[in-house]
Amino acid sequence: MSKHHRKASLWEAMVPILFLIVLLVINIRIFGTDSLSGSNQMVLLLSSAVAGLFSVFRLGISWDNLQRGIVNSIGAAMPSILILLLIGALAGTWLLSGIVPAMIYYGLQILSPGIFLLAACIVSAIVSIATGSSWTTVATVGVALLGIGRALGFEEGLIAGAIISGAYFGDKMSPLSDTTNLAPAMAGTDLFTHIRHMTKTTIPSIVLALVIFGILGLTTEVHGSVEQVKGISAVIAERFNITGWLFIVPVLVLGMIVKKVPAVPALFMGALLGGIFAIIFQPQIIQNIAGEPGASYMYQSFKAVMVALYGDISIVTSNEMVNELLSTGGMAGMLFTIWLIICAMIFGGIMEESGMLLVIAEAVISRVHSLGSLIASTAATCVFFNLTTSDQYLAILVPGRMYADIYRKRGLKPENLSRTLEDSATVTSVLIPWNTCGATQASVLGVATLTYAPYCFFNIISPFMTILYGYLKLGINYYSEEEMREIQKELAV
């Protein structure tokens, strides 16, 4: 095969995308929320095959080049895959140790149905700002809040929507967040200028979301009762040794992340500490999970902790609702999600390596005229890349590179671009079932992406808010005339 290849036409670039969209629609209609069990993965692989055939036989790209693009794409997702595996392990040992049950137990004593949704969103936002990670927030505090909300009688999609809205607000505004650092780096501005500029659109978006959650909390009829909540608390207290000492582990994990310890070692330490605390505080649970009453406690402890790290554990009680709360799949429970991520990155790798994504992006840019349409097209491009590459980082990186010079030529400071990247790429990634973020949060919470997505009000409002600001020319920072002269000299060179 020749090393030289031609550029794809727009219709050629769109064929794999349209094929993917049509098959996903059919797939979701047939399999529903069970589509993550394998059918979505096959759709992505079939779409990758279509993109590969077009690349090889119509564009003249060698398979070696496409394979290199696939490997690079999967390699870029490896940190997310490692984090996902460790979140599974952490969920297992935090259940075994009683950490998550303790969070649920104390939460039920404090949170009433009327303020629960509002409180869930605010608590998730605070933790996410402190840690800089929506994934960690959802996997720790979010799992506990979901259990509390279920006990109070709320629909799980609504609970997950409140948790994710708060978590992604905090992720977006935290100086510790990787996406909050990536967006200004791509646009060409500094971190704190970017964060200050984001407040103009992000604060109104979260306020609107909080108002909606507040109204829903006060008006939603929940099937949980005071007696039911008391019953759940009693069953948890009967089954576990509930003590405030258990909160040492989540506090240490959050402290490590605040101190900028990377997520992988912080979560790994959190999972191991959960296992240690299980051995110390929950001997009866250890014995139950090990299932070998005649063995020594050291033997039982090793077996139970290992099972919690990698596999399914369920704590059986007399209450069916509590049984649903007290089960987890460990690392193995994340394998369907990892399978989905790998398949999505194969598709994204072929589309990027073949240049077909760039062709589609250029077609969008050519139709941009006004300030409003520029920001709207930037937001749409970010959402498009979230849909097609299945990765929020690529949805920031590629549009950031594409639009940087256009914003400068039009006299717009780079913080306008970085804000739009975050308002659209970061927050919408979790709304897409085959995106790494959507797949991860669905797996961690045990709530299908399409079930919680309609209730992620902050994530839905944010891109529309940034587009509205663009058309109304609100909160836009411009270069001065002197700065524009310097930019024009640079561009001329």
One-letter amino acid at 87 equals I
Which of 86-95, 182-191, 319-328, 455-464 tops mean pLDDT? 455-464
Tell me the whole-structure pTM to 2 decimals: 0.70
pLDDT tops 90 at residue 73: no
- Please say whether the beta carbons of 216 and 117 come within 8 A: yes
Residue 478: φ, ψ to 5°: -110, 155
What pLDDT was estimated at residue 364? 74
Higher local confidence (pLDDT), 28 or 213: 213
Compute the average pLDDT of residues 272-284.
Answer: 95
Higher local confidence (pLDDT), 337 or 33: 337
What pLDDT was estimated at residue 1? 37
Q: Where are the domains of the chain?
A: 79-333
Of 452, 477, 476, 464, the closest CA to residue 380 belongs to 464
Tell me the pLDDT tens digit for each residue of 380-416.
989 988 887 777 877 887 788 778 778 888 889 999 9
Tell me the pLDDT tens digit for each residue of 153-207.
889 999 999 999 999 998 898 876 778 877 887 788 887 788 889 999 999 999 9
Higher local confidence (pLDDT), 372 or 490: 372
The span from the CA of 139 to the CA of 154, in Å, is 19
Compute the average pLDDT of residues 410-427.
Answer: 92
- Please say whether the beta carbons of 183 and 379 come within 8 A: no
One-letter amino acid at 457 equals F
What pLDDT was estimated at residue 470? 94
What pLDDT was estimated at residue 2? 41
Compute the average pLDDT of residues 240-251.
Answer: 91
